[in-house]
Amino acid sequence: MGSRVGQKIKLTSLDELLCVPDSSGANELQIDQIRPFRNHPYKVVDDEKMEELVESISSNGVLTPVIVRPAEDGLYEMISGHRRLHAAEKAGITKIPTIIRDVSDDEATIMMVDSNFQREEILPSEKAFAYKMRYEAMRRQGDRTDLTSSLIGTKLRADEQLAKDVGESRNQVQRIMRLTEVIPEFLEMTDSKKLALYTAVELSYFPEKVQKWIYSYIWENGMLQTSEVGALRRNEDVESLTKDDVYKFFNSMRPASSKKVSKRLSLPGDKLDKYFPLDMSQEERESVIYELLDKWRREKRGL
């Protein structure tokens, strides 16, 4: 019993203390008066962590208010707290402490995205659509720097400012946002770590119909390398490709690729995942491995 109480205290600190500057003046609203944020990019999943949150709320109530804004239909739109609201519903609670903010669409978008940055696990697809929504909101703000504290005193491009705010390079932010252009099948593969980020980025430049043909090819013939997908994009007019073109191109690369692979030491990808960032391509992983092997060889020879 003692360990379960300890888990609840830890859970409260992670899930219930997110981006709420001041809980004083909070109202209690009926849960059915609150609707989700429009195009909310983060998934609310009934997993083990959700069950823990439900247990915590059942025992202690919702300790940290959710943040909403008035909606045009007399209801309220959730900005921050979708997981808490869902857990409260599962716990049978009908009212939830709420802070009401009268903010614009763009201000609400930035608040919604920022309130989720502290989550321990964010799927690539969630991050992609969240970054894209925040980026577009920042662009619409134009030269205004008074809407969020992170923008005060800056005159950076929207993608530069976004990169600074989320702690990633501008190129990485741009790569992540490209995931919003891939078909759902590839997005799901990226989330489940079956498809590398760099491969998904290359795929994002193909029209939807071509992506579906490539997906069919992968389903029938196995995973493609980033370099193979990139070669198709560089060497062919992607707009005029046919399904036959796609299959012929990749089939033409397969024999040479197979010969190269047969000469390599096979290292299971799932075992390498704990040593490399999940979005690192095979080529980049190989480069690191070769560098480490060269260092090992020099040390063995006393160089």
Q: What is the pLDDT of residue 156?
A: 65
Mean pLDDT in residue range 232-260: 83
Residue 78 DSSP SS3: strand
Angle at CA of residue 237, ends 233 and 202, nearest 5°: 20
- For residue 110, being part of any structural domain is answered with no
* Most confident option among 37-41, 137-141, 203-207: 203-207
Domain boundary among 65, 87, 102: 102
Mean pLDDT in residue range 252-263: 56
- For residue 80, being part of any structural domain is answered with yes
Domain boundary among 102, 137, 169: 102
Tokens of 56: 């915590």
- For residue 212, being part of any structural domain is answered with no
Please give the span between the terminal C-alpha atoms of the chain, in angstroms, as a whole number. Answer: 58
- For residue 76, being part of any structural domain is answered with yes
> Model's pTM, two decimal places?
0.65
Domain that holds residue 295: 269-301
Q: How many CB atoms lie within 10 A of CB 229?
A: 21
Total domains, the chain: 2
Tokens of 166: 């989320």
Q: What is the pLDDT of residue 142?
A: 66
- For residue 91, being part of any structural domain is answered with yes
pLDDT beyond 80 at 227: yes
Q: What is the pLDDT of residue 61?
A: 86
How far apart (Å, rounded) are the C-alpha atoms in residues 81 and 104? 18
Domain CATH for 86: 3.90.1530.10
pLDDT in tens, 149-188: 343 334 468 888 888 888 888 899 999 999 999 999 999 9
pLDDT beyond 90 at 120: no
Mean pLDDT in residue range 96-102: 91
- For residue 119, being part of any structural domain is answered with no
- For residue 51, being part of any structural domain is answered with yes
- For residue 70, being part of any structural domain is answered with yes
Lowest mean pLDDT among 203-212, 229-238, 294-303: 294-303
Mean pLDDT in residue range 85-93: 90
Provide the CB-side half-sphere exposure for 88 (13 A, CA). Answer: 26
38 pLDDT tier (thresholds 50, 70, 90): confident
Domain boundary among 82, 102, 122: 102
How far apart (Å, rounded) are the C-alpha atoms in residues 156 and 158? 6
